[in-house]
Amino acid sequence: MLIAKNRTFDIINYSLLALCVIICIYPFYYVLIYSISDPAKVAQGIFLKPAGLDFTTYQSILKLPYMTNSFLVSVARTVIGTALTVICCSFFSYLLSKREMMLRKVVYRLLVVTLYINAGLIPWYITMKMLSLNNNFLLYVLPTAISGYFVILIKTYIEQLPAALEESAMMDGAGFLRLFWSIIFPLCKPIVATVAIFAAVNQWNTWMDNYFLVQNQSLKTLQLILYEYLNSANALATMDASSITKNAQNIVLTPESIKMSTTMLVALPILLVYPFMQRYFVKGIMLGAIKG
């Protein structure tokens, strides 16, 4: 009787979990099959498979001006910005974990305040202009070098490491920098990987700073370029449709197909990288969020 109840529970449990997985995955799958479907046939409806395989929309988008350059800018922003965030937040967290640091509690409390209080868009804009970060690549990486949330996660993780590790190294003559780079930082791999995921996703998806402070076309990111194209999707579709008609092809692009394709182009890099970092994600969050 007990075995039958357990089996029933397992069936219901697995069924519900499978349903949750489908609910989470299907929207991405729908966007994918929509983006590779024939724009003329997709109006009839799609559900599980593309309505005529076609990559004309992707070809049209990839041929747009500055697309390659904007992609390289986004990649550079993500890589450099993530590395700078990880290094700065890790070292600052290590300093805050040391009782020898002057005004440690004051600095930490001020850091926590930044999680709740935001000056707003106008003060931020004025500050960036005063620092001459407009039309400057440093706008993408410097303001995000320190994040209060990341510092709290890493600091809590560092405080859980055995103090004997540092004491033994200090007895051998190691200083704070040597302790951090040779002992502490390598031991923080789970939480560092977690912070790197958050920082990379944030850097890749952010476009507001680009929108307000960058007019130089060569410095625009992929996200802003695609945002501008999305706003002019109707005109773009009309333009592409006329050019395609001249080439005697029976394919007409639609604003919806352009939107779906741009969505996939923006989301695909993160979707490819995330699975490789996921094994650190849960462990890093749990160990960095609970003080033992």
Question: pLDDT: is 257 or 252 the higher one?
Answer: 257
The pair of three-digit structure tokens given for residue 197, joined into one six-digit string: 């995921």
pLDDT at 77 over 90: yes
- pLDDT, averaged across the chain: 80
Whole-prediction pTM value?
0.77
Which tokens in the block code for residue 55? 């990559």
Neighbours of 167 (CB within 10 A): 9
What is the DSSP code (8-state) at residue 118? -
User: Tens digit of pLDDT for each residue in 175-231?
Assistant: 778 888 888 888 888 888 889 888 988 998 888 888 899 888 888 888 888 888 777
pLDDT above 50 (res 111):
yes
Alpha-carbon distance of 142 to 47, in angstroms, equals 44
The position carrying tokens 């076309």 is: 217
Q: Which pLDDT belongs to residue 90? A: 92
Rounded distance between C-alpha atoms, residue 198 and residue 148, angstroms: 13
Q: Which residues pair with 53 in a beta bridge?
A: 37
Phi-psi region at 175: left, alpha or beta (left = phi > 0; alpha = psi -120 to 50): beta
Q: What is the distance between the alpha carbons of residues 252 and 242, in angstroms, rounded to a whole number?
A: 8
CA dist., res. 82 & res. 76, Å (int) = 10
